Amino acid sequence: MSNQLEALRQHSAVVADTGDFEAMRAFRPTDATTNPSLILKAVQKSEYRPLLDRVVRDHAGASTAERMDRLLVAFGQAILDIVPGRVSTEVDARLSFDTRATVERARAIMALYAAAGIPRERVLIKIASTWEGIQAARVLQSEGVRCNMTLLFSLEQAIACAEAHVQLISPFVGRIYDWYKKNQGAAWDEAANAGSADPGVQSVRHIYEHYKRAGVPTEIMGASFRNVGQILALAGCDLLTISPELLGQLQAAEGGVPRQLTPPGSTVPPGVPLGEADFRFALNENAMATDKLAEGIRAFVADARKLDGLLEAA
């Protein structure tokens, strides 16, 4: 009998959410996603520390920012030797509110991949879904640089990303779930908010239905899962990026996985373009999305600073 991981592949592309090469070899994902937190976790392991040491040794005169990018690209190159598809490499979250700096940093990362002989279609530049980040992605996409918009928690963010013609969005399931669970406190009913009733699952489903009904070509990749139930409830989403722990649970579980998301048969034209003022107001009205976007940027910045420290101390 097939296991749930193999069954899930029939409906969604499976992506590894990790910087662990051995996990990628074990679970055979199509793509892989990384972020500062995952890279920080990896380079603190003895088997991955040589990547950081090599970057420091070979580029001793470079700035910390350049060495950071070279470290991210070194991980990306190694990942692309394992996965058949794409790797997502993140622009420094400290630039999340600076469109021009984000564009320049993304171009620098892509130049490093090009110098290593990596085709640009195998790289996704990961950018936080702020207004400034989305506008940076608009510029990059027009230059042929494919973008993965991360820290996405609301339909308004998804609509703005679609209008910028981004390649892929990563709506965060688990962090939405976390917010509602914390917000409700003792009143939270885990069973009543599981599976298709999970608020994070419902958010992705809403985005999926909007995109497919409007004929938006942007790929949707569910991300940030807390349990297998959330993953199974989104079978049929274009892609799902999953941690090694949850990939292991899926692989260990026998049985089929029914498709949960199916594109609607009818389509409607997209609505009125979402301008900056409307975007900011809608995001402000969504307390969960506002809180989690800000919190996510702070967390990635904190880990980027820790990576800086490791690079400077090596």
Rounded Cα distance, 159 and 17, in Å: 24
126 is catalytic: yes
Rounded Cα distance, 163 and 270, in Å: 9
Rounded Cα distance, 152 and 169, in Å: 7
Could you give the count of Cα atoms lying within 13 Å of 45 in the half-sphere of its Cβ? Answer: 10
CB 66 within 8 A of CB 104: no
Indicate if the alpha-carbon torsion angle 139, 141, 144, 149 is positive or negative. Answer: positive
- Quick one: DSSP state of residue 78? H
Helix (H) or strand (E) holding 88: strand 87-90
Max CA distance (Å), the chain: 58
Identity (one letter) of the amino acid at 4?
A: Q
Residue tagged active-site, from 45, 126, 181, 292: 126
Nearest to 33 by CA among 71, 85, 97: 85
Q: Which residues, other chains included, contact 114 with Cβ-Cβ below 8 Å and sequence gap of 6+?
A: 120
The four Cα atoms 237, 219, 303, 45 give a dihedral, to 10 degrees, of 70
User: How many of the other CB atoms lie within 10 Å of CB of 13?
Assistant: 17
Give the residue numbers annotated as catalytic, written as ranges: 126
